[in-house]
């Protein structure tokens, strides 16, 4: 670990409404997938730390669920995860979609300012702004909304202008030694990431509201000579949902299982044996004991 007296280290909370690209940005900065990404809202349910080491600085990112209007205990847990992350952070980064500013962005900005932390603004998805010069007007307008510590337009997907964000963050972090060993990319366990990679495939394969009522529990996670053996339960809230997850002759569940196995296998570059069960538990998303058991604490 560094003994450099100028070394900087601190926590950076990534906040924003769902779907603006917070998790994509984190994965891109870290160069690996630690937080799942889909085109659907509520993909990220937890607070996830990603540790990014630069020459002279260690940035501990906290990816958060998008702040939204919560309808149940799970939703409140998610919003709390985002607000709690801001309290713990040295810097709050508000992420928005550069192509538009919405009322939801306004709500998150207000929460970010309430945290009392310096707030930086990242305009993501600039690959969708045409012509690129339009950004100048968008930034000029946005600058009026708050005294941002810094403003960085970038594209997480294209990897465009990420270095500017790294520089701004490093410059605004407090001086201090690294908090984490350099080879640890996240505070989350492999078991957690495996569950998330399976949930990502559920989000991608199932329609509409269905995935929002689901969660994944990893019951078995064992490394053997031949590979990684995983046993997972997909918990759904209704008997009818169970049928939809399994599909005709089990085809849907097979597709999901195959896709998840490939993703998990790619994550750790080893063969994966995945067994899936689908079980029904009504109201799990409103029962504190179950939320704790499923990792939402
Ligand atoms: N065009 C474009 N799409 C992006 C970019 N970053 C993320 N996305 C897409 O936006 C969607 C939401 O991304 P995600 O990281 O899950 O957003 P989060 O909910 O804020 O964490 C996904 O479909 C991403 O592929 C970007 O820079 N450009
Ligand atoms: Mg996310």
The residue whose C-alpha atom lies closest to atom 14 belonging to ligand 1 is: 21
The residue whose C-alpha atom lies closest to atom 2 belonging to ligand 1 is: 125
67-73 average pLDDT score = 87
Cα gap 202→240, rounded to integer Å: 16
Residue 91: partners with Cβ closer than 8 Å, 6 or more residues away: 10, 11, 12, 13, 117, 118, 119, 120, 149, 169, 172, 173
| CATH code of domain 190-293 | 3.30.300.20
Task: Decide: helix, strand or coil at residue 112.
Answer: helix
The residue whose C-alpha atom lies closest to atom 22 belonging to ligand 1 is: 39
- Measure 155 CA to ligand 1 centroid, in angstroms: 9
**Ligand 1 within 6 A of CB of 24:** yes
Nearest to 193 by CA among 228, 158, 162, 237: 228
> What's this model's pTM, rounded to 2 decimal places?
0.92
pLDDT digits (tens, 9 = 90+) for 23-69: 999 999 999 999 999 998 889 999 999 999 999 999 999 999 988 88
Architecture of the CATH domain 8-172: 3-Layer(aba) Sandwich (3.40)
pLDDT digits (tens, 9 = 90+) for 102-121: 999 999 999 999 999 999 99
pLDDT digits (tens, 9 = 90+) for 237-295: 999 999 999 999 999 999 999 999 999 999 999 999 999 999 999 999 999 999 999 99
**Residue 269: predicted pLDDT:** 95
**Residue 1: predicted pLDDT:** 54
- Measure 124 CA to ligand 2 centroid, in angstroms: 13
């Amino acid at each position: 670990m560094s003994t450099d007296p100028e070394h900087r280290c601190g926590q950076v909370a990534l906040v924003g409404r769902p779907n603006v690209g917070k998790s994509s940005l984190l994965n891109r900065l870290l160069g690996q997938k630690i937080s799942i990404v889909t085109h659907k809202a509520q993909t990220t349910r937890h607070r996830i730390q990603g540790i990014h080491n630069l020459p002279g600085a260690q940035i501990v990112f906290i990816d958060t669920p998008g702040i939204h209007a919560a309808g149940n205990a799970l939703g409140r847990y998610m919003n709390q995860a985002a607000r709690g992350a801001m309290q713990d952070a040295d810097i709050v980064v508000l992420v928005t979609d550069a192509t538009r500013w919405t009322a939801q962005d306004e709500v998150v900005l207000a929460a970010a300012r309430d945290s009392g932390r310096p707030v930086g603004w990242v305009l993501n998805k600039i690959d969708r702004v045409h012509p690129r010069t339009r950004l100048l007007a968008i930034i000029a307008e946005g600058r009026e909304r708050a005294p941002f510590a810094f403003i960085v337009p970038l594209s997480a997907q294209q990897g465009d202008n990420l270095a500017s964000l790294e520089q701004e963050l490093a410059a605004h972090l407090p001086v201090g030694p690294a908090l984490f060993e350099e080879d640890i990319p996240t505070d989350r366990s492999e078991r957690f990431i495996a569950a998330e990679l399976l949930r990502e495939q559920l989000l991608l394969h199932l329609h509409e509201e269905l995935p929002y009522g689901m969660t994944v529990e990893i019951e078995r996670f064992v490394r053997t000579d031949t590979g990684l053996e995983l046993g997972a339960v997909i918990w759904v809230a209704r008997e009818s949902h169970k049928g939809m997850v399994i599909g005709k002759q089990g085809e849907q569940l097979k597709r999901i299982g195959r896709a998840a196995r490939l993703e998990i296998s790619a994550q750790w570059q080893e063969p994966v044996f995945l067994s899936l069960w689908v079980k029904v538990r009504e109201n799990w998303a409103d029962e504190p004991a179950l939320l704790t058991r499923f990792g939402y604490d």
